[in-house]
C-alpha cells in the first residue's frame, strides 16, 4: 500500500520530531525528514459499522446529527460517535489491568513513538488458533535479524488482520455476550515472553494484529498484566503488518488523549525509510 506522504507532513512533523532523534527517517546530511523517499503504512482499521469489538461490548455507532443545507446558505454536517474504549484499532493504557498505573492521558508520548520491529509468527498461528508466541519465537527472530533494540516498539504479526472484518474468522466466533467470550479462538503473546521483553529488552510498547495481546482462551490475562504493570502500553487490532520490513522503520501511535481513560481509539502508522 504505497502512498505519497507529502500531504501528511504538516500534521505529523511534531510527532516525528521524536522519531528523528532515532535517526531512522532523518537525512544524514542534515536533520530534516526525507518524506518524499519514505513510505507511510497505515496500521489502523477504519472505524465503522463493521468494526470488531469484544463480545461483551456495544458496536461502534456513527449517529448523524446534522446533514443539511442551512438558512444561512451553507451546508452543515455533524455526527456523534459511540464506541467502547477497547474496540477496533486501539491502545490499552497501563491502568486497564494494573491498579494505580498510568491512564491514557498520562502515557508519555515517547512511549508511543519510535523505532520498531516486526516479528512474523504467521506460520505457527496459521496452524493453531490457540497459539501463544513464546520466548523461543523471539529469540529465533534475534538469531536472524539481530538483538531486539532496547526501547523498541515490538509488533507481532500473526496474520489475523487478513480476516478483518469477519467476526467469526477474526475472533473464532460470531457469538456475543459471555457465550462469545468463552468461544474466542485467536493467538496471543505468552506471558513468559511478555515478561522477557520487559525484563531483558526493556521494550517501550507491544502491538498485535488480534483482538487481544492475550490469546482468545485466556481467563486470567497474564500477558496484559505482565506488560501493563510495567507501564508498557499495548496496541491491539493492528492492520497491514505484512506490509512492513522486519526492522528499520518507525511507528507513530497517537490515541485520543482521554483523561482517566483505560484505553482509546488509535491512529497508528509506520514510517518506512528508503533502502540504504
CATH of the domain at 262: 3.50.30.50
Asked whether the beta carbons of 127 and 179 are under 8 A apart, the reply is: no
pTM for the full predicted model:
0.89
**CA angle 197–150–186, rounded 5-degree value:** 35
Which residue range is the domain that position 214 belongs to?
Answer: 6-272
In a domain, 1, yes or no: no
Cα-based distances in Å from 261 to 90, 131, 264: 12, 30, 7
Those residues whose C-beta lies under 8 Å from the C-beta of residue 18, and which sit 6 or more positions away, are 109, 110, 113, 114
Q: So what's the pLDDT on residue 7?
A: 40
pLDDT at position 35 is: 66
33, 13 in Cβ contact below 8 A? yes
Domain membership flag for residue 107: yes
Structural domain tally of the chain? Answer: 1
Report the pLDDT value the prediction gives residue 23, as an integer from 0 to 100. Answer: 44
Which residues of the chain fall below pLDDT 50?
Answer: 1-11, 13-14, 20-32
Integer CA distances (angstroms), 238 to 19, 29, 69, 162, in order:
20, 34, 38, 11
Q: What's the pLDDT score for residue 10? A: 42
Amino acid at each position: 500500500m504505497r502512498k505519497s506522504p507529502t500531504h501528511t507532513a504538516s500534521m505529523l512533523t511534531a510527532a516525528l520530531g521524536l522519531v528523528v532523534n532515532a535517526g531512522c527517517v532523518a537525512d544524514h546530511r542534515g536533520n530534516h525528514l526525507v518524506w518524499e523517499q519514505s513510505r507511510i503504512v497505515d496500521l489502523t482499521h477504519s472505524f465503522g459499522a463493521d468494526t470488531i469489538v469484544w463480545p461483551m461490548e456495544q458496536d461502534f455507532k456513527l449517529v448523524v446529527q446534522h446533514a443539511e443545507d442551512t438558512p444561512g446558505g451553507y451546508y452543515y454536517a455533524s455526527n456523534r460517535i459511540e464506541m467502547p474504549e477497547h474496540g477496533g484499532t486501539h491502545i490499552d493504557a497501563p491502568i486497564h489491568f494494573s491498579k494505580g498505573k498510568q491512564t491514557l492521558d498520562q502515557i508519555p508520548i515517547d512511549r508511543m513513538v519510535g523505532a520498531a520491529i516486526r516479528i512474523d509468527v504467521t506460520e505457527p498461528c496459521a496452524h493453531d488458533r490457540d497459539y501463544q508466541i513464546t520466548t523461543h519465537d523471539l529469540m529465533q527472530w534475534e538469531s536472524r535479524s539481530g538483538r531486539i533494540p532496547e526501547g523498541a516498539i515490538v509488533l507481532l504479526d500473526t496474520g489475523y488482520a487478513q480476516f478483518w472484518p469477519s467476526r467469526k474468522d477474526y475472533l473464532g466466533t460470531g457469538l456475543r455476550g459471555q457465550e462469545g467470550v468463552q468461544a474466542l479462538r485467536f493467538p496471543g503473546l505468552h506471558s513468559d515472553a511478555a515478561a522477557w521483553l520487559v525484563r531483558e529488552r526493556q521494550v517501550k510498547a507491544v502491538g498485535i494484529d488480534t483482538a487481544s495481546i492475550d490469546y482468545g482462551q485466556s481467563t486470567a490475562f497474564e500477558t496484559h498484566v505482565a506488560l501493563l504493570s510495567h507501564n508498557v502500553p499495548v496496541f491491539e487490532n493492528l492492520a497491514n503488518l505484512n506490509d512492513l520490513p522486519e526492522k528499520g522503520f518507525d511507528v507513530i501511535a497517537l490515541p485520543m488523549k482521554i483523561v482517566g481513560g483505560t484505553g482509546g481509539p488509535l491512529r497508528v502508522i509506520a514510517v518506512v525509510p528508503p533502502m540504504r
